[in-house]
């Protein structure tokens, strides 16, 4: 049976999907609530509990036009402007407390033969999530609907590792990112399996501040490979750590949200949620 938080996110996700396709109509609270089969008053309450703002205000953050406006604020250097905003403002950049350690060639090739991986399942504002860690840091984090399928996906990445379903300190610290102020977080270490190019792209993503959006092209420019937008997109799509490596903050140059491994609706939800938190 689904827990209350999961049910609420499901309803919020339905509402967000509706808003994404009907935002030009500026639907009323009653129309949105009717779409998810809830009373306007109850829907308004659970939405504000989840996002911290009203559905109407949230709509402003997830619309394509708002994304274009965000991008248009710094046409010449989107990534650098976002980076400097994070440094000069009160928000804390990911790279101040998240660091990546790539796996050794041996670990990469042997499917994690000598790795001991702890994994656990938890709730997040965006649905259930699976977190896995080695003795060096978080190696996987992903939103999921089925525990067994999620574990099989993890085991496919590290077929020779030894697994234990247990919550450790690394996993707890990672999950605190959804509930605690960033300046109160302990440093989070990531232990990732990836090529040099992938690690370079993922490290670039860590420099995008909360509440900011950049384009695939700007990431390619930042890693000094401006013609590699497609390869950058592939590396972003291979991100093994949801949210901690904020691939959800990368959108298309035309302002559309673009794809997301864990679903476009969830991506829009995260973008809107972060924008609301930043506005606060």
CA distance 127 to 219: 28
CA-based Rg of the chain, rounded to a whole angstrom? Answer: 19
Catalytic-labelled residue, pool 247, 270, 271, 276: 247
Tokens in use for 19?
Answer: 């808003």
Per residue, the 3-state secondary structure of the chain, as one string, reads CCCHHHHHHHHHHHHHHHHHHHHHHCCCHHHHHHHCCCCHHHHHHHHHHHHCCCHHHHHHHHCHHHHHHHHHCCCCCHHHHHHHHHHHCCCCCHHHCEEEEECCHHHHHCCCCCCEEEEEEEEECCEEEEEEEECCEEEEEEECCCHHHHHHHHHHHCCCCEEEECCCHHHHHHHHHHCCCHHHCCCEEEEECCCHHHHHHHHHHCCCCCCCCEEHHHHHHHCCCCCCHHHHHHHHHCCCECCCCCHHHEECCCCCCCCCCCCHHHHHHHHHHHHHHHHC
For this structure, is 139 an active site residue?
A: no
Active site residues: 247
């Amino acid at each position: 049976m689904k827990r209350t938080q999961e049910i609420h996110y499901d309803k919020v996700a339905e509402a967000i999907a509706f808003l994404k396709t009907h935002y030009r109509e500026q639907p009323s609270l009653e129309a949105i609530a009717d779409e998810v089969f809830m009373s306007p008053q109850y829907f308004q309450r659970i939405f504000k509990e989840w996002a911290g703002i009203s559905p109407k205000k949230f709509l402003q953050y997830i619309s394509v036009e708002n994304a274009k406006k965000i991008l248009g604020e710094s046409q010449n250097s989107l990534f650098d402007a976002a980076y400097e905003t994070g440094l000069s403002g009160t928000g804390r950049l990911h790279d101040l407390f998240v660091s990546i350690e790539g796996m050794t060639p041996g670990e990469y090739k042997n499917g994690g033969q000598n790795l001991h991986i702890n994994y656990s399942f938890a709730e997040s504002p965006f649905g259930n999530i699976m977190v896995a860690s080695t003795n060096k840091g978080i190696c996987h984090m992903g939103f999921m609907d089925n525990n067994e399928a999620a574990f099989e996906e993890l085991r496919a990445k590290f077929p020779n590792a030894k697994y234990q379903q247990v919550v450790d300190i690394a996993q707890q610290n990672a999950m605190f990112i959804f509930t605690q102020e960033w300046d109160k977080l302990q440093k989070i270490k990531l232990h990732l399996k990836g090529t040099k190019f992938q690690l370079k792209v993922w490290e670039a993503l860590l420099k995008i501040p909360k509440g900011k959006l950049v384009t695939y092209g700007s990431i390619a420019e930042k890693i000094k490979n401006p013609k590699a937008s497609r390869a950058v997109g592939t590396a972003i799509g291979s991100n093994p750590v949801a949210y901690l490596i904020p691939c959800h903050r990368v959108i298309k140059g035309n302002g559309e949200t673009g794809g997301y491994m864990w679903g476009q609706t969830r991506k829009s939800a995260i973008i809107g949620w972060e924008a609301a938190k930043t506005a606060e």
